[in-house]
Structure formats: structure tokens, C-alpha cells
């Protein structure tokens, strides 16, 4: 055995502890403690030590999360304490029945004990249930739930998941601890995984739960390690310790202290009515979460009461799950229509036999493009699985080939635009096919006008989508410039447009003439030029003439503008029809103040990144953003180690907490306004 000095041992243990601490803060607490470069440096040091002294390497080393040799097969594991399933409730009345049964079992009555029961409420994560066994604080085994009595040994795979501690932290570590939890794949990771699969021409996953299950059943743990899985602990099985918590929520707090990730939305409430309120609150919040949940789990919080209530068959009497409406259902594809967007993109839209999914009736779903149709292998008449998560546009996740009818028809992508009959072309390297008709195409004209009038562009209040379609169809307008020639008499003659509404709209059109260079550039609808890019162009060039005259080489010198965006900008301004429309807009009185380039060069906040969070009472969020950008700051939507300053108004939540954990300076609205005054 190698002779290892005390200094080397101390350095190794120090590096190991430091990296485990960094992993815990990053993957469990979501509070990064060091930059990525420092983490990488320490990891290299640890790897070098283990390479030089192989005897140092231990099971709880952060280097062991990358995966090891592939297995030939999984071995079976028998659960000492069975992993039981839960009964389901689908309504408030079934939840009330659950509460009544508990009280009857405990001999509660309004006369004897009027106190309502305290319940622990927690989101039901849509993932894979696992069991983790720790002996003297060390992870020794991970297993799937299986049939509740027997699961599969997936130790090598769970070791790769960074939110699972390889060694317990803190004090009073139990001699034996079995933790139950849910392993899941957050939506951003799921989207990235499927995008990578599509690029490689590989099969994609139907939903995050299937992706998590497939990841855990890899015989090669290196594949599992490459996927951004997470785990939240929700209960314990075996537990041998000197002090045992008295409630479920205390147990979760204890597990959190030992290094486990606990869902931040766990809450103890009193009474079954409060359970129903929690359900409604989480149902409203569900779509904003970064991971899928399919319901709420309610547990009697008092562990002594849990013991008294016991179990029936394969379920505990003291817990129940209330499911949300399903987000996946089967239906039939009736036909496919092809829609034309503002930039000419041809999008196939599936018309479906209406089906109730995700809380709404769905009759349409996007098929994205020709490649997606080919990948799915879909035909008209097929039975398909529809997935809808919150406000996301419903998508066809899978075709049930076994149910394909004999008269199924192939979907043929059009060679000519369905609106103007111009040829459809697909640029090499792009997935989207486009109509070549440009502003000759009625569909593109309508979408261009809708974008031009939108709130973040020229902000023409009262010019809705239906009105735009009516005016284009009636021949009242042919381009965005025609908006400024509209009269009250023309508008009042349109369907459902009274004289007062016509007066209000012409006033709004007139008011929109006073704008900014950034908003005007954004309103033109140049491909890939969003709000931020338009602001960047305005700040860097100062005048419209300078932007029009910039070639690709000069555009590439601007931060955040790459070759593709630069080409779209050059192509747009090289089109004489586009320049004619710009001239017509300026002749109609559309105007803005050019940006002083000398003042821009000395912007006091140039190079800084600010984040706005919470409500604002004195000035609007939009005004605050404009003021910051005018001073040279970049305004971001999330807090990171690179954030320079956070402005937190009333109701600020997770962004404020993250800023405080990273020691990023925070101003309230009054402080922010005072700060702006010092720069005037």
C-alpha cells in the first residue's frame, strides 16, 4: 500500500468536503457558492490526487458520480419495509371522506375532540420512486420501488445524481437510514435531452417521467450521469436513531439537514378544507414549476397518529393522493392544415377529435415542421397521444401504430403556399420551410401588422388581431404604413366598429408615431431580432441610417449578434420593398430621438447586469427597464453570480432570496429611484 502523508490526507479530505459542499449548495439549495471555474479547479486537484494515490479514492468522493463499468443486468432487492402505493381522491368530497374515515378510526368527534387534524401537504412529483439505504451515514444501496416488495438494485445509477448525498452531512447521523424519494427530470433538462436526440436522429422520450425511468434503468451508469436528474426526499422506511422526529414535516426538515433536497412547497395545514385550498393554490402554480407534478399528497402530520391509523392492504390509512387532470390523453388525428406565419414559416397544425386533457378540451396541436412529421411517422387517421402541460401549446407526443387504420393517409407537405400559392422553400440548415411570397402573401401581411401594433412594438391600443384580418381582407390596408392613412370613416364602416371605437383607434395610431429607435427596429419584424437585440442595435449604432448601412462585418462586432442574425438584418435592409415601407412610415410622421453615441460611450452602467423582481408602485417595470438600458445596463430575467444589482419591489420571492444568498446588492424601489437621481 502507498505511503500517504498526513498532509496529503488532510488536503484530500478538505477538497472532498469542499466539493461535496459546493454540490449540495448548487444542486440541493440552488445557491451556488463558487464560480464554475473554481469548482473545476478543485475537481481537477481531487482527480490528480486520486490518480497519484489510488488508495485514497472512496465511495463518497465527488469523482465517483461520473459512472462506472456497465452492468450485465440488475439484481433484485427486497424492501425490508414495503414501499406502499397510495389511495387516490378525485374530488373535494372524496377528500372529505378520507378525513371522516381518519377521525372515525381515531374515535374523534365534535363532542370529544373538536380539533381538526394537521396534514402535511406536498406536490406529487411525476417521476420514479426510489429507496436509498445509508449505513453510518454512507450510501450503500439504491433501489427502485418495483412491486413494493421487490425492486431492482440501481446503486451505480443513483450515485451519479448530484442531489443525492453520497455521505450524510450534519450531526446525529443515524446508524441505519432508508430514505424514500422521487427521482425526476426537470422540464429544461427533458427539452434539452429530446433536442439532442432529434439532432442525432434518435428516438425521443414521450414525457419527463418516461425519460427519468429510462435513465435509471441504464446498465451503463455513464449514460445516467449524462442526464440532469434530481431527487426530492419525501419519507423514510428503516430508521434507527437516538432521537426520532414527532411529525412528518419535522422528519423532512431533519432529512434536509442531512443533505437531501426537500420540495420547497411542502406545507403543514390544519383541517381538510385547508387541504383543498392547498390543492387549488398548487393547481394554479403548477404550470410555472420547472418540473412535472401530477397531484398533491396529503399525510397525517403526527407520526404517532400515523402509527395508530396503520395500513390497509397495500396502502396507508393516513395518506392519500389527489390527482390533477391528466396531461396526456389519446385521440384521433382528423386532418392537417398548413398555416403561414409572419416570416413565411409554414407550420402544420393537427386537427384532432376533441379530447379533454390538462384541464381543457383540445382540438388542435402543432406538428412544428416537416421533420417532426417524418420523425413521428404520423398519418391522417392515426390514434395519437396528446400532451399538454399548462399554457404550453398541445403537442403530439406519440403515434399508436397498433391502432393505425387501413385507410390512413400520408401527410404531404405543400410545395406552394396555401394562402398566396408562391413557392415554398427550405433553407439549408433550417428545419422550417417558408413561403417566398413575402408581403405579397396575405397571411404574412396580417402577421406583420399584428406584430407591428403589439404592445412591445408600436403599442397601438385597440388594434386587435380580428380587426387586422378584417382590414386586410377588405383591402383597407396592404402594409404597416397604410395604418397611418386610415380615417375614422373607413374604420367605422367595418364590422363591430362604432364611431367612438374608430375615433379611439385613430388617436392610438397617431400617438404611436412618437416612439424609440429600439421599438421601431423591433416593430419591423426582422427575423431573430427581438426586444433585446433591437435595443442593442439602437445603443450601438444610434441612428436608423447607421443600422441600415451596417454590413455583416460591422454587425458581428456588436455583442450578442452572431452570423445568422447579422445575415437576417443585412437581407432585410437590402430589400427595396422594406426600405420603401420604412420611408412611408417616416413620411407619415413616425419619429424617434437618435441616440447620442458619445453619451452612449460613457454610460455609467455599461457592462452591468440588473434584475427587476416583485411589484413596482411608483414607476412601471417597463419604465425601469428602459431607464436601466438607457444607462447601458443589461436587464436579465434571472439572478446568477454575474448579476450586478437586484431591484426588489413588494412581493419579491425566489429571485430576492437567491440574490441574498449570493450577497448581490439589493435596492428597494425608493432606493432605486434615488440611485437614478444621482446619475442625472
Q: Which residue has the cell 393547481?
A: 283
Contact at 8 Å (CB) between 161 and 215?
Answer: no
**How far apart are alpha carbons 539 and 521 in whole angstroms?**
12
Strands 609-613 and 645-648: parallel
Among candidate residues 299, 290, 356, the one with its CA nearest the CA of residue 322: 299
**How far apart are alpha carbons 314 and 86 in whole angstroms?**
8
322 CB-near residues (< 8 Å, 6+ apart)? 88, 89, 90, 94, 95, 279, 295, 296, 298
Q: Which three cell numbers stand for residue 374?
A: 417524418
Q: Which residue has the cell 436601466?
A: 628
Q: Rounded to the nearest 5 degrees, what angle is found at the Cα of 260, between the Cα atoms of 258 and 261? A: 145
Which burial class, exposed, middle or buried, applies to 183 when counting CB atoms under 10 A from its CB (0-12, 13-18, 19+)? Answer: buried
- Which one from 16, 103, 124, 261 is the annotated catalytic residue? 124
Element (H, E) at 383: strand 383-387
What's phi and psi for 139, nearest 5 deg? -70, 120
Whether 642 is catalytic: no
**How far apart are alpha carbons 204 and 197 in whole angstroms?**
6
Contact at 8 Å (CB) between 266 and 121?
Answer: yes
Using alpha carbons, list the distances in angstroms from residue 414 to 30, 417, 421, 489.
47, 7, 10, 40
Active-site annotation, residues = 124
Amino acid at each position: 500500500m502507498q505511503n500517504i502523508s498526513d498532509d496529503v490526507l488532510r488536503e484530500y479530505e478538505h477538497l472532498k468536503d469542499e466539493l461535496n459542499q459546493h454540490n449540495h449548495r448548487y444542486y440541493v439549495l440552488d445557491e451556488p457558492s463558487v464560480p464554475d471555474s473554481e469548482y473545476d479547479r478543485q475537481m481537477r486537484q481531487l482527480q490528480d490526487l486520486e490518480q497519484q494515490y489510488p488508495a485514497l479514492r472512496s465511495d463518497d468522493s465527488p469523482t465517483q458520480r461520473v459512472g462506472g463499468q456497465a452492468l450485465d443486468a440488475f439484481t433484485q432487492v427486497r424492501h425490508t419495509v414495503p414501499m406502499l402505493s397510495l389511495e387516490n381522491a378525485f374530488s373535494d368530497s372524496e377528500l372529505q371522506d378520507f378525513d371522516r374515515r381518519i377521525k372515525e378510526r381515531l374515535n374523534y368527534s365534535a363532542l370529544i375532540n373538536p380539533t381538526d387534524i394537521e396534514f402535511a401537504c406536498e406536490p406529487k412529483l411525476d417521476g420514479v420512486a426510489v429507496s436509498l439505504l445509508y449505513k453510518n451515514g454512507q450510501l450503500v444501496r439504491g433501489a427502485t420501488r418495483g412491486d413494493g416488495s421487490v425492486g431492482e438494485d440501481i446503486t451505480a445509477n443513483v450515485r451519479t445524481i448530484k442531489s443525492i448525498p453520497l455521505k450524510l452531512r450534519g450531526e446525529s447521523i443515524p446508524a441505519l437510514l432508508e430514505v424514500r424519494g422521487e427521482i425526476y427530470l426537470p422540464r429544461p433538462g427533458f427539452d434539452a435531452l429530446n433536442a439532442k436526440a432529434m439532432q442525432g436522429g434518435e428516438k425521443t422520450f414521450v414525457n419527463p417521467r418516461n425519460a427519468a425511468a429510462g435513465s435509471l434503468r441504464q446498465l451503463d451508469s455513464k449514460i445516467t450521469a449524462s442526464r440532469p436528474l434530481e431527487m426530492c426526499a419525501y419519507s423514510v422506511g428503516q430508521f434507527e436513531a437516538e432521537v426520532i422526529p414527532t411529525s412528518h414535516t419535522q422528519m423532512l426538515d431533519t432529512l434536509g439537514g442531512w443533505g437531501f433536497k426537500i420540495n420547497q412547497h411542502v406545507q403543514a395545514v390544519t383541517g381538510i378544507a385547508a387541504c383543498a385550498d392547498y390543492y387549488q393554490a398548487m393547481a394554479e402554480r403548477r404550470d410555472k414549476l420547472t418540473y412535472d407534478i401530477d397531484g398533491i399528497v396529503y399525510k397525517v402530520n403526527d407520526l404517532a397518529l400515523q402509527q395508530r391509523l396503520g395500513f390497509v392492504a397495500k396502502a396507508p390509512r393516513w395518506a392519500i393522493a389527489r390527482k390533477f387532470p391528466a396531461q396526456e390523453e389519446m385521440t384521433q388525428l382528423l386532418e392537417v392544415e398548413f398555416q403561414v406565419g409572419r416570416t413565411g414559416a409554414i407550420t402544420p397544425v393537427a386537427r384532432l377529435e376533441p379530447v379533454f386533457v390538462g384541464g381543457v378540451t383540445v382540438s388542435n396541436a402543432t406538428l412544428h415542421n416537416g421533420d417532426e412529421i417524418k420523425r413521428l411517422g404520423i398519418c391522417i387517421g392515426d390514434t395519437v397521444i396528446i400532451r399538454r402541460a399548462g399554457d404550453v401549446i398541445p403537442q403530439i407526443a406519440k403515434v399508436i401504430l397498433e391502432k393505425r387504420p387501413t385507410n390512413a393517409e400520408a401527410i404531404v407537405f405543400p410545395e406552394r403556399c396555401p394562402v398566396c400559392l408562391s413557392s415554398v422553400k427550405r433553407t439549408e440548415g433550417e428545419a422550417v420551410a417558408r413561403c417566398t411570397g413575402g408581403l405579397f402573401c396575405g397571411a404574412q401581411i396580417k402577421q406583420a401588422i399584428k406584430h407591428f401594433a403589439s404592445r412591445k412594438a408600436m403599442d397601438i391600443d385597440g388594434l386587435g388581431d380580428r380587426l387586422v384580418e378584417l382590414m386586410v381582407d377588405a383591402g383597407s390596408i396592404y402594409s404597416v404604413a397604410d395604418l397611418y392613412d386610415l380615417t375614422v370613416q373607413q374604420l367605422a364602416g367595418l364590422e363591430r366598429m362604432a364611431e367612438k371605437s374608430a375615433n379611439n383607434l385613430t388617436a392610438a395610431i397617431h400617438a404611436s408615431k412618437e416612439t424609440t429607435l429600439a421599438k421601431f427596429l423591433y416593430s419591423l419584424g426582422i427575423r431573430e431580432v427581438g426586444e433585446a437585440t433591437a435595443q442593442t442595435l439602437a445603443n450601438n449604432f444610434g441612428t436608423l441610417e447607421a443600422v441600415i448601412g451596417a454590413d455583416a462585418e460591422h454587425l458581428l462586432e456588436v455583442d450578442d449578434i452572431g452570423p445568422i442574425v447579422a445575415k437576417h438584418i443585412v437581407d432585410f435592409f437590402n430589400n427595396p420593398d422594406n426600405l420603401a415601407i420604412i420611408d412611408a412610415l417616416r413620411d407619415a410622421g413616425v419619429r424617434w430621438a437618435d441616440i447620442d453615441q458619445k453619451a452612449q460611450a460613457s454610460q455609467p452602467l455599461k457592462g452591468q447586469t440588473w434584475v427587476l423582481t416583485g411589484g413596482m408602485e411608483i414607476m412601471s417595470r417597463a419604465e425601469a427597464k428602459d431607464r436601466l438600458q438607457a444607462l447601458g445596463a443589461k436587464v436579465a430575467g434571472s439572478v446568477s453570480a454575474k448579476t450586478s444589482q437586484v431591484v426588489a419591489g413588494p412581493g419579491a420571492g425566489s429571485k430576492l432570496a437567491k440574490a441574498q444568498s449570493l450577497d448581490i446588492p439589493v435596492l428597494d424601489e425608493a432606493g432605486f429611484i434615488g440611485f437614478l437621481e444621482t446619475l442625472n
